[in-house]
Structure 1
Amino acid sequence: MRSLHPGNGFFASAHVAALALIVALFALTASPAPGFAREEAKAEVFDEAARLVRWKFYDPKLHGKDWDAVVARHRPDYLAADGKQGRAAAINAMLAELNASHMIYATDDDPAYYQLVDIFKFGLRDDIKKHFPNGVSYPGIGIFTREIEGKTFVSGVLAGGAAAKGGLKTGDEILTVDGAPFQPVQSFRDKVGSEVTLSIRRERGGPVSVIALTPERMEPGAAFRTAMKESARIIEANGRRIGYIHVWSYAGQDYQDLLEEALSSGLLKDVDALVWDLRDGWGGASPDYLDLFNARGPDMTFTERSGETDYASFKWKKPVAMLINGGTRSGKEVLAHAFKTYGYGEVIGTRTAGALLAGRGFLLSDGSFLMVAVNDVAVDGVRIEGKGVAPTIEVPLDIPYAAGADPQLDKAVEVLSEGTRG
């Protein structure tokens, strides 16, 4: 809309009264109706997300999509949505039309929102100060969940977290929290440090059980590091000691440092073989993390006067097997591809997500989060996006009512303890 100020032509020859009439008529004919103005304001975040996709998506042709048409198709759903979940669904449906990974919209009702903001914290540090004055954290119990046939199942439990302490297991169907429908964040708001009761079903068609848990204030990076350290354990099989560790997130060198510490001087230093679990969680891994398992490289240690030894370069020279599944994504898929291609050991589980683009995170004006794929990625000239990495030994894991059973881990232990496969 043109502003009315001297020099723009409106004052050149008009009488003051005539100008007033012109302004009045212009306001009647050109100003948006009140309802339209409200809709435009409501759509601000939707339009902001659409613009960022247009400007930042790695393919300037947007995979051949008429982006204006895509936006126009999903905008009414966003405007008609009731609540944050409905609006998020509309934006994610728009993003899904590009058929690309690393296209995610999330609000503060979703644990992924906090986890992704923390992963992208360096690029978002100024916005984080605005939207998270006390740091990035959320109320939770330390689980991943998956919707299957309209039901909510636990798909992963973070070792050392409230859910693990309370006995929740992978495969449990969550029915209610304190008698209300389960919501991954909302169910625990204002309940940190106070006991809640979860109604669950562990067997298909079985009885409902009640588990008491105490939600915690979770800082994503700290929670993943704790879960990684707490996951480390030794499994005895056929006279061999098999080490196990689960890397839930690889978004930072600190996770690799924890792995090297566990293997060089920690709990797993004297085991006979290792299960390296990269299932679920988040990627971010660097290809050079595989150097740890290059047995042809040198070890280098420093020994202090006190006798304390520290590794400057540590190499794991014993057998190792990798666990993968459909939740193994992004940088973890780079590791899976190379681990398999260069013969480091068996890769056990199911095909990875096929989600290997490079993403960038944005905090929108209302504080919600948008990730946009900003680079295409190839590994050794191979494009993994949309294809994934197949295991060398296929072992499915049916989540619903698994009661904590883990046939993929069982197979890895079998392979490492007996040298069998297939």
Structure 2
Amino acid sequence: DDPPEVEIDLDDIHDRLERVTAMPSGEDDPVIADDGDTFYFVGGEDAGPADYDSDVDLYKIEWDGSERTRVTERDLSPSSVRLTPDHSQITFTHSGGQLARVPTSNDNLERLSFAASMTVDHEAERTQIFDEVGRALGEGFYDPNFHGDDWSALLDEYRPRALKASTAQDFQDMVNLMLGELNASHMGYYASDRADTQDERTGRLGVEVDPVANGVEVQRVVPRSPAAREASTLREGDVIAAVDGRPVADAPNFYQLLEGTVEEKILLDVTDPEGKERTVRIRPTGDLSDELYREWVEERRALVEEYSDGHLGYVHVEGMNWESFEHFERELYASAHDKDGLLIDVRYNGGGWTTDYLMTVLNVQRHAYTVPRGATDDLEQNHEQFRGHYPFGERLPYAAWTKPVATLANENSYSNAEIFSHAFKNLDHGPLVGQPTFGAVISTGGMGLLDGSYVRMPFRAWYVYQTDENMEHGPARPDLRVSNPPGIKAEGEDPQLRRAVEALLNETGSE
């Protein structure tokens, strides 16, 4: 049969929109069943700024939003959802490429098995991949002049070198050397290596130790680490004499005894400073980065409290992502609601995308203040006492900060943390203190290649609105330039932080 003629009335079509789903997370891969009334879709995906910790599964719903049904269970993560040509089945892939289907007549999931093999000509494959990298960068690199380089000449120069590589790793290294000639950030060629490599992990207790005659002596315990837990406590001055019965003094290296112990229960023979012996049962972790980061932040917060005599609050923004932004909002009130000013620290921030959310918090300007019933017995006489009161939490989607503020940045502030530093300085929010940022700001994307490898490349330039300076190779330069000498952390000091406190106290008049 000929398909029916369809005429779409575009006038005021936006007024005729109807919302079908109302899930907190994102929906994707919509498919309309043959009856035209039933919509299949993937629900539970991250959407917008927030990250949702929810299962991703296939759902169906009627066109009017009724009778929503979860078709798959247990976070199956369907993708590439399709309706078969005879309209009888919904097919999709899941779990890394497995196939499945669901009849439109019922919700009985059927997993489909398949097998395939292929012969790969690795030499021809590398030639194809090299050509794909060349075309991708040629058509997509953000600067059509390639930072002054001749891209075609670079391809001609590096092609014979890359194609003579004896291993996949050598090929990857050669392609990345070529990309490095462009002297741009946010780019690289990434591929797996067919070579088998050893996968050993060293357990970490969360202590700093010094060698002594009969073992190692604990010099410091990292808060929240395995050694700081009540059931497996180690203390300064404790001597670890043996690990699972193996004497530490006989080992070439203490950490050799912790090889392969990640998340495994081990026994430590420990002697305290008074000579009392005990056995500590402990599960080493494979990573202490979060514990060390939180310890560093708490030390900075304590220094701000000391340097400012309690007048200023401190928030470190770990990354320019949604989790860090939510943490920033919480800390804004937990650490600074009763302070005269706020220090925002984006040192060691690797970037992301949330500058505009942070600026939304800082860009709020007061236009009114409120006085609730019961706050004063004489509203006319005393209302000016409440100029600092406004119900921001009721009126704005995000937090708001209207008191004086300063920002710290350094050479390890990257990408979106640099955009924030530029914006903070050029919009005159307050002093920017520290060292010039790294100078690596480009919007990045990429392209998947024939063998599953990936080339990452920048596609959009960023310029400072007030100065027309390219942020790539154009760092945010502090108003107050201060360096932190090597080893200063061990002395319990932070000159950059101290100078920022001095500048902000001058702004608040709290000196």
- TM-score norm. by structure 2 comes to 0.47
Would you say the 8 A contact 1:349–1:393 is kept in 2? yes
What are the superposed Cα offsets for residues 262-314 of structure 1, whole Å, 9 maximum, x if unpaired?
Answer: 213x343323332211123123233352131235246999x9xxxx9945423
Would you say the 8 A contact 2:415–2:440 is kept in 1? yes
**2:310 equivalent among 240, 247, 255:** 240
What are the superposed Cα offsets for residues 379-400 of structure 1, whole Å, 9 maximum, x if unpaired?
Answer: 3133222121110111123457
Letter aligned with residue 248 of structure 1: E
Distance change (3 Å), C-alpha of 1:64 and 1:382: closer
How far apart, in 1, do the equivalents of 2:439 and 2:151 lie? Answer: 24
**Structure 2 counterparts to residues 203-218 of structure 1, below 5 A:** 214-216=285-287
Q: Does 1:283 align with 2:367?
A: no
Tell which deviates more after alignment, 89-98 or 358-367.
358-367
Would you say the 8 A contact 1:337–1:389 is kept in 2? yes
Distance change (3 Å), C-alpha of 1:298 and 1:355: farther
Q: How many residues align?
A: 299
Distance change (3 Å), C-alpha of 1:383 and 1:76: same
Would you say the 8 A contact 2:308–2:501 is kept in 1? no
Would you say the 8 A contact 2:263–2:284 is kept in 1? no
Would you say the 8 A contact 2:463–2:471 is kept in 1? yes
The corresponding residue for 2:501 is: 413
How far apart, in 2, do the equivalents of 1:278 and 1:399 lie? Answer: 19
How far apart, in 2, do the equivalents of 1:259 and 1:395 lie? Answer: 25
Q: Does 1:70 align with 2:154?
A: yes
**1:371 equivalent among 437, 443, 456:** 456
**Structure 2 counterparts to residues 184-223 of structure 1, below 5 A:** 192-194=262-264, 214-216=285-287
Would you say the 8 A contact 1:162–1:216 is kept in 2? no
Would you say the 8 A contact 2:203–2:284 is kept in 1? no
**2:363 equivalent among 277, 294, 306:** 294
For the residue of structure 2 that corresponds to 1:340, the secondary structure is helix
For the residue of structure 2 that corresponds to 1:322, the secondary structure is strand
Instruction: Compare the two structures and name the one with the higher helix fraction.
Output: 1
Q: Does 1:324 align with 2:396?
A: no
How far apart, in 2, do the equivalents of 1:93 and 1:407 lie? Answer: 38
Q: CA deviation at 1:229?
A: 12
Q: Does 1:263 align with 2:332?
A: yes
Would you say the 8 A contact 1:278–1:332 is kept in 2? yes
For the residue of structure 2 that corresponds to 1:240, the secondary structure is coil
Q: Does 1:338 align with 2:423?
A: yes
Letter aligned with residue 328 of structure 2: L
How far apart, in 1, do the equivalents of 2:225 and 2:130 lie? Answer: 35
For the residue of structure 1 that corresponds to 2:306, the secondary structure is strand
How far apart, in 2, do the equivalents of 1:336 and 1:240 lie? Answer: 25
**Structure 2 counterparts to residues 347-358 of structure 1, below 5 A:** 347-358=432-443
For the residue of structure 1 that corresponds to 2:325, the secondary structure is helix
How far apart, in 2, do the equivalents of 1:227 and 1:82 lie? Answer: 44
Tell which deviates more after alignment, 52-61 or 409-418.
409-418
The corresponding residue for 1:387 is: 474
Would you say the 8 A contact 1:300–1:312 is kept in 2? no
The corresponding residue for 2:24 is: none
The corresponding residue for 1:135 is: none
- TM-score norm. by structure 1 comes to 0.56
The corresponding residue for 1:54 is: 138
Q: CA RMSD in A?
A: 4.8
How far apart, in 2, do the equivalents of 1:83 and 1:97 lie? Answer: 22
The alignment-based identity, stated in percent, is 30
- Which runs of no fewer than 5 residues in structure 1 stay unpaired? 1-36, 110-137, 142-157, 168-175, 181-186, 197-211
Would you say the 8 A contact 1:162–1:215 is kept in 2? no
For the residue of structure 1 that corresponds to 2:358, the secondary structure is helix
For the residue of structure 1 that corresponds to 2:429, the secondary structure is coil
For the residue of structure 1 that corresponds to 2:499, the secondary structure is helix
What are the superposed Cα offsets for residues 301-337 of structure 1, whole Å, 9 maximum, x if unpaired?
Answer: 9x9xxxx994542321223221111222222222212
Q: CA deviation at 1:215?
A: 1.0
For the residue of structure 1 that corresponds to 2:338, the secondary structure is coil
For the residue of structure 2 that corresponds to 1:243, the secondary structure is strand
Distance change (3 Å), C-alpha of 1:405 and 1:228: closer
Distance change (3 Å), C-alpha of 1:64 and 1:294: closer
Distance change (3 Å), C-alpha of 1:349 and 1:194: farther
How far apart, in 2, do the equivalents of 1:44 and 1:160 lie? Answer: 50
How far apart, in 2, do the equivalents of 1:191 and 1:312 lie? Answer: 52
Larger-Rg structure: 2
Q: CA deviation at 1:371?
A: 2.1
Q: CA deviation at 1:178?
A: 4.5
Letter aligned with residue 386 of structure 1: H
